[in-house]
Amino acid sequence: MTIHIGAKPGDIAETVLMPGDPYRARWAAETFLEDAKLVNEVRGMLGYTGTWRGHKVTIQGSGMGMPSLSIYANELIRDYGAQTLIRIGSAGAMQPQLNVRDLVLAMSACTLTTPSRGIFKELNFAPTADFGLLHAAWTAAQSMDATCHAGQIYSSDVFYDERPDLNEQMQRHGVLAVEMEAAELYTLAARYGRRALAVLTISDHLLTHEALPSDQRESSFGDMVELALTAAFA
């Protein structure tokens, strides 16, 4: 057990999927895993372990934002031996060629700041995905009936952004989408020598203002979870 994860030794798999929403963790576990068992409910941040096609998998909520994800990713890696960590979450599209329900594979994640910022001081560290996971996910996406994009995303440290000038520059430089966790996940994976990837579903669009209704979000996220699981064990 750790401060934030109540799982016993052996309860956490080496492969962990990390949605921000703990209820999405429950939905994904019940939908995709066999014999899913609740292994964590500290502070309501639900975590489940089961099997997918014979492979042991944990699906653990991370909370919203990089500080929260940093807590769970650190403990999963350092105390439970997690080797592969894949964020599965929603994102806002920043480019016209993306549509709601499209999938995005985050090759890299730009950001203003992360909880790890103080370590690097003047260095502008570039957090990137594990290439093996990225390649496996891209290959798997080609066989699925889903539109998938790969490229750079933006990990914001605020939800209610008031920097339209910054968004304009990111759109100008081809940043695909915005979310709130991947940059710190990639940084921690690099620090500890682990594999990490963010597989995202476009839930809303900054340009068109289209958005998925809340009652359609879970059913629209199935391709994302399947893609993440397929990539993890390719």
Question: Contact, 218 vs 131, CB < 8 A?
Answer: no
User: Residue 86 to residues 45, 64, 170, 185: CA-CA distances in angstroms?
Assistant: 17, 15, 24, 9
Q: What is the pLDDT of residue 166?
A: 93
Question: Contact, 68 vs 31, CB < 8 A?
Answer: no
Q: What pTM was estimated for this model as a whole?
A: 0.96
Biggest distance spanned by C-alpha atoms of the chain: 48
Per CATH, the architecture of 15-232 is what? 3-Layer(aba) Sandwich (3.40)
Q: Which residues are catalytic?
A: 204
End-to-end CA distance of the chain: 30
Q: Domain ranges in the chain?
A: 15-232
The string of pLDDT tens digits covering residues 6-28 is: 999 999 999 999 999 999 999 99
Tokens, residue 17 = 């999927």
Is 172 among the annotated ligand-binding positions? no
Is 88 among the annotated ligand-binding positions? yes
3-state SS assignment for residue 153: strand
Q: Residue 171's pLDDT band (boundaries 50, 70, 90)? A: very high
User: Residue 111 to residues 102, 127, 187: CA-CA distances in angstroms?
Assistant: 22, 9, 11
3-state SS assignment for residue 152: strand
Is 179 among the annotated ligand-binding positions? yes
For the chain, what percentages of helix, strand and coil (3-state, to nearest 5) are there? Answer: 35, 30, 40
The string of pLDDT tens digits covering residues 137-150 is: 999 999 998 899 99
Pick from 10-24, 98-112, 203-217: least confident = 203-217
pLDDT above 70: residue 219: no
Give the orientation angle of helix 222-232 with respect to helix 22-32, to 10 degrees. Answer: 70
Is 180 among the annotated ligand-binding positions? yes
Is 89 among the annotated ligand-binding positions? yes
